[in-house]
Amino acid sequence: MKTSVIWSLLVFLLLCTGEVECQCTADGLEIQGGTYTLTKGLETNSLLVYQCPDNFYPYPDTIRVCHPNKQWKPRPKKFSPQRCKPVECPDPNVLENGNVFPPLERYLAGNTTTFECYSGYTMRGSSSRTCLSNGKWSGSTTICSRDSGDACPDPGVPPGASRRGNTFDVGYDVTYSCNGNLFLVGSRVRVCQENSQWTGREPACYSKFTYDTSQEVSEAFGSSIKDSLTTLQPTNDTQAGRKIRISKNGTLNIYIALDISESVEEEHFKRAKLAIITLIKKIAAFTVSPNYEILFFSADVYEVVSIVEFYEGKITLESAIKNLEDFQIGDKSTGTDVNAALKKFEEGMAWIEQKTGDKFSEHRHVFLLFTDGAYNMGGSPLPTLARIKNRVYMSPTGDPGSRLDYLESYVFGIGANIFDDDLLPLTAGTEGELHYFRLKKETNLAATFDDIIDENEVIGLCGLHRDYELTADKDGKRRRYPWVVFINIQGKSPKKCLGSLVSSEFVLTAAHCFIFSDEPQDVKVEIDDGKGSKEKKVKTFKLHPQYNVTARVKQGVAEFYDYDIALIQLERPVQLSISARPICIPCTKETSDALRLPGSATCRDQEELLLKNQRERLSFLTRTEPLVGEKDVYAKLGDNRDLCIKKALKAKGITTTDPKVPVTDNFLCTGGDRDHIACTGDSGGAVFKNYESRTIQIALVSWGTQEICTGGGMRETTPESRDFHINLFKMVPFLKSILGDDDQDDYAPLTFIN
Ligand SMILES: *[C@@H]1O[C@H](CO)[C@@H](O)[C@H](O)[C@H]1NC(C)=O
Ligand SMILES: *[C@@H]1O[C@H](CO)[C@@H](O)[C@H](O)[C@H]1NC(C)=O
Ligand SMILES: *[C@@H]1O[C@H](CO)[C@@H](O)[C@H](O)[C@H]1NC(C)=O
Ligand SMILES: *[C@@H]1O[C@H](CO)[C@@H](O)[C@H](O)[C@H]1NC(C)=O
């Protein structure tokens, strides 16, 4: 860091002697115990940012800007030299009815305190707390209280705060303020309710050097954004006991604005942009499809994704993400206009209201604002926010009534110098949720957002996978194909096959993987759920009743593979996780949701969507290091099919002249066309298609005309070789008879549609 500062100074010293006129001087900029960076050397509008080691913060200033009058603003102070001061936590000596040890003037990062209650009082919260490097205490507020007979528990006093109000009965309130230079984040006023709970959430006192950790952001923002995306409904009918049901009511509109003005360093911008992309992809995994407005702003607003276009279907999620990825900061205009960003939100919202009329009341709106709040143009954004509130709350006075949670405004403070006083009033939303976050440049916001929607909880969602996490190692592959199952048959005729997890208890594979004498204990099923034991015990397996290899011997087909499909039932359900989750199969309700089809959609609608082209791009897997490889093929449909299946006549053991005898309508045909070819170990594996972040199995690998490779691997087809896959759309009665059977108590059935 130090060398880069010296280097940049050197460059600018050289430049200053050339054509560029330097405006400011480097005099008095140095910081004791720390370093600084300059965005444009000593030129006008250059931003200086101070950095200190962990547990320290720059004092008295955090940034300076070189003004055209050749002065730094704020100016370096001769009598208070710039230095790194230790991070301090808010004073814990506000504890009532107890003692704090040790009693110190200031509590610095690393200091630990212990608490003791007076006799007759009992302690809630932490009995010992440590001051952390982000300026917050570990644990939770220590409270010494005794039973007063009041309805609500003593709410205590968080460190650094003062509380007014000592009656904790229904209807009474308590009011908090922060001492000294600290500011309050959370609920200023809390009211004791009839259910013995306080409204809102406990406030905290923040200072200029208090930051939220990734984990705090993830927990707080995560829980509240999830409320916007889902309605949690614990149910008894699944083994895992908990299932997230996606709320289909109403429409969600998400408006995102990212500050790209000079005062926000590029690193912040890059991280925030990546985080936004991650979040959007993450949200896409849910069955809600929000409309997006995404813009960058400084003095001007750059609209990257327009909610109007989103609404009218002129822009897809993919192209929205692409626009976002492609956006680069050009020449930054100086100045910041937060109001212009909010006005753009307002415009979009007004359009929606006009378009939807009465239905507007069902629309929910979520704002995500990333800025340091250092606006110097366009005036205060507060009147704009007030108008937006009136619109959403449907109240000219701005009284939210019961509509508070229809507008959630989250503000993420980024930048070296965050204007908290200006930003805090821009938050809005459900009481008790946190809407304000202060982020350090180092915070990996994308990873934070990635954790927000914990896919482990979203067990109801078939085919959900992480395709944006393109790590090519085993773990990355496992998350990309969480449904892949390795099958080893160890009976008289040992065989390796692939399969797919289609529910927490069932694995779909090919019938030809089994022979008549195989017993469940001969079947080894491997699913690495990342929780230790990979091998799953098999309870039973069922082949399609019409599967009969010798059925067409007399018609010139030595081995006939129609109905080559089987279901394996596991002894115990797989513990679902991000690396073990079922794939979507045709004609279920869940697949309609994954495909974003309306509730009235039929099986035929799904098929028309998934197999609509004459050459339909599909994939299947093969065993290869690490874990599996993905093979690309085109299913030949419509007019292309006849030519494709004709090659079946070249296969060994086929003497008929009619390709439709070995290849019935139940098969899809791939090969030629530089497609990959199936190897013997690939049998039974899913032939699938991705739809956004969901995977749908369309067929399963059955047989091919040539044995080109055994045991897996990536190989291309020869001009003559073709593969045939059992089309699951033709196997629905079989799938439904087992997976959709609701006359049993053994497992949770899937819901099939007509
Ligand atoms: C508090 O932390 C500071 C800085 O690490 C340290 O110098 C001091 O000794 C600590 N005080 C106590 C009482 O632990
Ligand atoms: C779970 O099942 C019990 C007993 O059948 C029932 O009383 C309870 O309401 C169910 N809970 C939920 C959340 O469905
Ligand atoms: C969902 O819609 C139904 C009927 O359309 C309505 O009665 C209900 O209040 C809505 N629920 C929410 C959470 O908006
Ligand atoms: C299979 O088909 C052949 C020929 O039609 C028939 O003889 C045999 O009984 C069938 N096997 C089964 C198990 O149905």
Spell out the residues 6+ positions from residue 735 whose beta carbon is closer than 8 angstroms to its own: 502, 508, 567, 585, 586, 587, 728, 752
In a domain, 745, yes or no: no
Could you tell me if 171 and 156 lie in one domain? yes
Is 722 in the same domain as 654?
Answer: yes
In Å, how far are 55, 104, 122, 357, 419 from 204, measured between CA atoms?
19, 20, 23, 41, 17
Is 213 inside any structural domain?
A: no
Both 699 and 660 in one domain: the answer is: yes
Which residue has the CA at smallest separation from atom 13 of ligand 3?
249
Q: How does 148-169 read in b/e, with b if 16+ C-beta sit within 10 Å?
A: eebbbbbbbbbbbbebeeeebe
Using CA positions, which residue lies closest to atom 3 of ligand 2? 236
The answer to whether residues 440 and 519 belong to one domain is no
Match 């995977």 to its residue by tokens.
695
Nearest residue (by CA) to ligand 1, atom 11, is 111
Output the domain CATH number for residue 35. Answer: 2.10.70.10
In the structure encoding, which two tokens stand for residue 580, read together?
């073990």
> In sequence order, what are the residues at sequence separation of 6 or more whose Cβ sits closer than 8 angstroms to the Cβ of residue 456?
576, 577, 578
**Which atom of ligand 2 is closest in space to residue 234's alpha carbon?**
13
Distance of CA 341 to the CA centre of its chain: 24
pLDDT digits (tens, 9 = 90+) for 359-376: 898 888 999 999 988 888
232 within domain boundaries: no
Q: Is 108 in the pocket of ligand 1 (CB under 6 A)?
A: yes
71 class by beta-carbon count within 10 Å (0-12 exposed, 13-18 middle, 19+ buried)? middle
Name the domain count of the chain. Answer: 4
Q: Is the minimum distance from the CB of 250 to ligand 3 under 6 angstroms?
A: yes
Indicate whether residue 153 lines ligand 3 (CB < 6 A).
Answer: no
- How much distance in Å is there from the Cα of 163 to the middle of ligand 1? 28
Whole domain around residue 35: which residue ranges?
3-86
Residues 82 and 96 in one domain: no
**Interval between CA 504 and ligand 2 midpoint (Å):** 21
* Ligand 2 close to Cβ of residue 235 (< 6 A): yes
- The C-alpha angle 663, 493, 521, rounded to 5 degrees, equals 110
Q: What is the pLDDT of residue 31?
A: 94
Residue 422 half-sphere exposure toward CB, CA atoms < 13 A: 18
Our answer to whether residue 745 is catalytic in this structure is: no
Residue given tokens 């705060």 in the structure block: 161
Mark which of 71, 86, 101 sits at the end of a domain: 86
Name the residue of 517, 546, 548 whose CB sits within 8 Å of the most ligand 4 atoms, as the mutation to test its pocket. Answer: 548
The answer, yes or no, to whether any atom of ligand 1 lies below 6 A from the CB of 545, is: no
Name the residue among 697, 711, 255, 737 with its Cα closest to residue 508: 697
Residues 659 and 734 in one domain: yes
Together in a domain, 27 and 117: no
**Is 686:672 a contact under the CB 8 Å cutoff?**
no
Is residue 301 one of the residues assigned to a domain?
Answer: yes
Indicate which residue of 420, 564, 682, 723 is catalytic: 564
* Residue 638 is assigned to a structural domain of this protein: yes
Torsion of CA 206, 208, 210, 215, to 10 degrees: 100
Q: What is the DSSP string of 536-591?
A: E-EEEEEE-TT--TTTTGGGTBSS--TT--EEEEESS----BTTB-PPB-TTBHHH
DSSP state at residue 268 = H
- In the reported structure, the alpha carbon of residue 231 is separated from the centroid of ligand 2 by a whole-number distance in angstroms of 18
How far, CA to CA in Å, does 333 sit from each of 61, 125, 375, 608, 686? 24, 49, 13, 49, 52
Choose the final residue of a domain: 458, 482, 504. 458
- Residue 598 has φ and ψ, to the nearest 5°, of -65, 165
Residues 6+ apart with CB under 8 A from 619: 630, 631, 632, 633, 687, 688, 689, 690
Give CA–CA dist 597/577, Å, rounded. 26
Place of tokens 């994939």: 619
Instruction: Select from 84, 104, 108 the residue to mutate for testing ligand 1; criterion: most ligand atoms less than 8 Å from CB.
Output: 108
Is 74 in the same domain as 107? no
Ligand (nearest to CA of 131): 1
247 CA: nearest ligand 3 atom: 13
| 301, burial (CB in 10 Å: exposed 0-12, middle 13-18, buried 19+) | middle
Q: Which of 434, 458, 482 is the last residue of a domain?
A: 458
Low-confidence ranges of the chain (pLDDT < 70): 1-22, 223-224, 226-250, 285-288, 331-333, 451-460, 466-471, 529-533
- Cβ neighbours of 80 (radius 10 Å): 10
Give just the sign of the alpha carbon dihedral 303, 307, 312, 315: positive
Catalytic residue among 46, 500, 504, 683: 683
58 CA distance to ligand 1 centroid (A)?
Answer: 19
- The enclosing domain of 428 has a CATH number of 3.40.50.410
CA atoms within 13 A on the CB side of 118: 6
564 is catalytic: yes
**381 plus 529 within the same structural domain:** no
CB neighbourhood size of 667 (10 A): 25
The string over 436-464, giving b where at least 16 C-beta atoms fall within 10 Å of a residue's C-beta and e elsewhere, is: bbbbeeebebbebbbbbbebebbbbbbbb
Q: What angle do CA 36, 40, 41 make, to 5 degrees?
A: 60
| pLDDT at 272 (0 to 100) | 85
Instruction: Quote the DSSP letter at residue 729.
Output: G
Give CA–CA dist 60/82, Å, rounded: 6
10 Å CB burial of residue 57 (0-12, 13-18, 19+) is buried
744 domain-assigned: no
Q: Is residue 697 part of a domain?
A: yes
Q: Which atom of ligand 3 is nearest to the CA of 250?
A: 14
Considering every ligand atom, which ligand is closest to the CA of 107? Answer: 1
Separation of alpha carbons 606 and 601, rounded Å: 7
Dig out the tokens for 444 from the structure. Answer: 């990996």
The CATH number of residue 614's host domain is 2.40.10.120
- Reported as type and span, the H/E element at residue 623 is strand 615-623
**Is residue 392 domain-shared with residue 538, that is, in the same domain?**
no
Residues 422/446, Cβ–Cβ less than 8 Å: no
Residue 226 lies in a domain: no
pTM for this model (two decimals): 0.64
d(CA 421, CA 15): 39
Residues 209 and 435: beta-carbon distance below 8 Å: no
Q: Is 335 in the pocket of ligand 3 (CB under 6 A)?
A: no
pLDDT on residue 288: 63
Residue 202 has a CB neighbour count (10 Å cut-off) of 17
504 is catalytic: no
Best residue for ligand 3 mutational test, from 249, 251, 362 (most atoms within 8 Å of Cβ):
249
**48 plus 144 within the same structural domain:** no
Report the nearest-CA residue for atom 1 of ligand 3. 249
pLDDT in tens, 162-215: 999 999 999 999 999 999 999 999 899 999 988 888 888 899 999 988 999 888
Q: What share of the chain is helix, strand, coil (3-state, %, to 5)?
A: 25, 25, 50
Residues 697 and 733 in one domain: yes
